[in-house]
């Protein structure tokens, strides 16, 4: 692709050169007239056309709407009147975000394709901020897999290597962010579904404080958050997607936080907790452990006091959370039309059926575990300014596997470092901190106390700026050697 910016100079020779730029740089270019929102959206759509027959990251595209939004944004910049700090910066949204008139099937052919009667709160906020929405990214079956497997669309793959798993349930969002489809790629996260794809694809992902971005349908522990190539971009978009919504009883009041104006994080004298074993779930891979310990050393060398936090979960607590989710999905599963149930991925059908026959005391015990986990997590992390840990015990795995364990009887053993912060509601960021010997990315999780979103992002930004050169590699373009053409649906 080639084109000219608003100032008349050539700005792109390859699809993705513009859409893969940082949002901070795009906005600066919009303001000085050297970049055009229209060309950036065109570039993102061209990249999707080139790459998505390999990645299968997109559920549907909105090219006409995105270009119309970009043209309106371009005019506002010409008039010197952008309507938000992210006006004109393109985004993708996850498949479970309602768009008026479109079906929302949660990645499953078994779900009735009923047209949405309204936009989700996130979509309304992004549109009000002048953000062109390029399309929706895919999610796995019912959002309950850490992979790109779905009966509704082709299997999504990792943007680093098509043989690797992109993670989930924000499978398409992780691949899209790393590939550079857009600076902002929104997902949802109830046990790591933003941070795990960020970790396994090698980009950045942010799960804010519970309620910071409103969710519809609301659910305890479910957060909305952005993925992107740069931590600063995650901070920037938070200026325009927070605040209350009547559809989410957990949504927080509007708060004027210094998302982009806070002083840089100063590690000197900071008390930092380091979690290398949460006490439950899968054992941490030695290469992951080494990368996270090295990352903690960056903070320590800058003057922080790093203290290891010992295991604080009891074995079996993650299984109780999993049981609670299975019970809820079993209730939905048994209400489905039997013929539609046959369309569901067998792994998920078996997972749902494990929620059958659970008696009242067991069900209440599994529900109560959410609060027990939340209280324990808050108690052990309360003394610290920042908490560091792996995002996942291990790196990514074969694309065809539904979960890292590849075992329906042990599906959630990889979520221990993440799910604790869903239950406690604390903000947490994934930022790449290295690679395994065979090139698989490793995510560092940076968490903070509830409501201290800016602190978590600032600390992650500090690490991103100070990580060693071998902790981040050039952004991949694996599709350039792949044959085939995109079959992604459009408007």
CB count in 10 Å sphere of residue 127: 15
Mean pLDDT over the full length of the chain: 95
Name residue, tokens 């971009």.
233
Instruction: Quote the pLDDT of residue 8.
Output: 38
Q: How much is the average pLDDT of 246-253?
A: 97
How do strand 305-309 and strand 271-275 relate by DSSP bridges?
parallel
| Secondary structure of the chain as H, E, C letters | CCEECCCCCEEECCCCCCCCCCHHHHHHHHHHCCCCHHHHHHHHHHHHHHHHHHHCCEEEECHHHHHHHHHHHHHHHHCCCCCCCCCCCCEEEECCCCCCCCECCCCCCCCCCCECCCCCHHHHHHHHCCCCEEEEECCCHHHCCCCCCCCCCCCCCCCCCCCECCCCCCHHHHHHHHHCCCCEEEEEECCCCCHHHHHHHCCEEEECCCCCCCCCCCCCCCEEEEEECCHHHHHHHHHHCCCCCCCCCCCCCCCCCCCCCCCCCCCCCCEEEEECCCCCCCCCCHHHHHHHHHHHHHHHHCCCEEEEECCCCCCCHHHHHHHHHHHHHHHHHHHCCHHHHCCCCHHHHHHHHCCCCCCHHHHHHHHHHHHHHHHHHHHHHCCCCEEEEECCCCCCCECCCCCCCCCCCCCCCCCHHHHHHHHHCCCEEEEEEEECCCCCEEEEEEECCCCCHHHHHHHHHHHHHHCCHHHCCCCCCHHHHCCCCCCCCCC
Q: Kindly give the pairing relationship between strand 58-61 and strand 133-137.
A: antiparallel
Q: What percentage of the chain has pLDDT greater than the value 70?
A: 96
pLDDT number for residue 481: 79
- The β-bridge relationship of strands 223-228 and 184-189 is antiparallel
**Rounded mean pLDDT, 357-370:** 96
Do the beta carbons of residue 395 and residue 165 sit within 8 Å? no
Residue 1 predicted with pLDDT over 90: no
Domain architecture of the chain: domains with CATH: 3-261 (3.90.1300.10), 271-471 (3.90.1300.10)
- Residue-wise pLDDT tens digits, 43-76: 999 999 999 999 999 999 999 999 999 999 999 9
State the pLDDT confidence band at 81, using cuts at 50, 70 and 90.
very high
Residue-level pLDDT at 302: 98
Q: Which residues contact 426 (CB under 8 A, 6 or more apart)?
A: 209, 377, 378, 381, 447, 448, 449, 450, 452
Indicate if the pLDDT at residue 490 is higher than 60. no
pLDDT of 484 reads 44
pLDDT band for 263, please (50, 70, 90 cuts): very high
Task: List own/partner pairs for 6-10 with CB under 8 A and 24 or more apart.
Answer: 6/33, 6/34, 6/35, 6/36, 6/74, 6/78, 7/32, 7/33, 7/34, 9/34
The rounded percent of the chain whose pLDDT value lies above 90 is 95
**pLDDT value at residue 482:** 74
Render pLDDT for 178-211 as a digit per residue (tens, 0 to 9). 999 999 999 999 999 999 999 999 999 999 999 9
pLDDT, tens digit, 9 for 90 and up, residues 265-288: 999 999 999 999 999 999 999 999
């Amino acid at each position: 692709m080639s084109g000219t910016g608003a100032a008349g100079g050539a700005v792109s020779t390859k699809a993705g050169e513009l859409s893969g730029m940082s949002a901070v740089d795009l906005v600066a270019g919009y303001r000085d007239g050297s970049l055009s929102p229209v060309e950036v959206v065109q570039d993102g759509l061209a990249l999707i056309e080139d790459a998505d027959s390999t990645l299968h990251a997109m559920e549907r595209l909105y090219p006409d709407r995105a270009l119309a939004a970009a043209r309106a944004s371009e005019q506002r910049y010409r008039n010197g009147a952008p309507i938000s700090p992210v006006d004109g910066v393109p985004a993708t949204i996850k498949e479970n975000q309602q768009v008026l008139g479109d079906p929302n099937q949660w990645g499953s052919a078994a779900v009735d394709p009923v047209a949405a009667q309204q936009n989700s709160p996130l979509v309304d906020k992004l549109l009000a901020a002048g953000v062109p929405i390029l399309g929706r990214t895919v999610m796995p079956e019912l959002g309950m897999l850490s992979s790109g497997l779905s009966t509704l669309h082709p299997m999504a793959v990792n943007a680093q290597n098509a043989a690797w798993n992109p993670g989930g349930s924000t499978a398409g969002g992780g691949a899209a962010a790393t590939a550079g489809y857009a600076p902002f790629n929104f997902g949802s996260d109830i046990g790591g579904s933003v941070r795990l794809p960020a970790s396994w694809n090698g980009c950045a992902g942010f799960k804010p404080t519970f309620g910071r971005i409103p969710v519809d349908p609301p659910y305890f522990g479910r957060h909305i958050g952005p993925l992107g190539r740069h931590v600063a971009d995650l901070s920037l978009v938070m200026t325009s997607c927070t605040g209350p919504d009547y559809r989410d009883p957990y949504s927080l009041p509007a708060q004027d936080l210094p998302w982009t104006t806070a002083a840089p994080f100063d590690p000197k004298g900071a008390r930092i907790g380091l979690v290398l074993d949460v006490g439950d779930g899968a054992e941490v891979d030695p290469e992951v452990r080494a990368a996270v310990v090295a990352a903690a050393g960056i903070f320590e060398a800058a003057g922080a006091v790093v203290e290891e936090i010992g295991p604080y979960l009891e074995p079996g607590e993650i299984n109780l959370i999993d049981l609670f989710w299975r019970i809820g999905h079993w209730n939905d599963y048994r209400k489905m039309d039997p013929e539609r149930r046959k369309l569901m991925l067998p792994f998920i059908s078996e997972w749902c059926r494990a929620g059958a026959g659970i008696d009242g005391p067991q069900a209440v015990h599994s529900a109560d575990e959410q609060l027990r986990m939340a209280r324990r997590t808050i108690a052990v992390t309360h003394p610290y300014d920042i908490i560091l840990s792996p995002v996942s015990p291990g790196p990514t795995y074969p694309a065809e596997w539904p979960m890292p364990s590849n075992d329906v009887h042990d599906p959630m053993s990889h979520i221990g470092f993440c799910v604790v912060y869903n239950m406690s509601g604390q903000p947490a960021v994934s930022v790449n901190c290295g690679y395994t010997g065979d090139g698989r990315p490793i995510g560092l999780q940076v968490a903070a106390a509830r409501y201290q979103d800016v602190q978590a992002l600032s600390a992650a930004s500090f690490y991103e700026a100070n990580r060693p050169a071998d902790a981040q590699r050039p952004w991949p373009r694996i599709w350039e050697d792949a044959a085939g053409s995109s079959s992604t649906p459009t408007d």
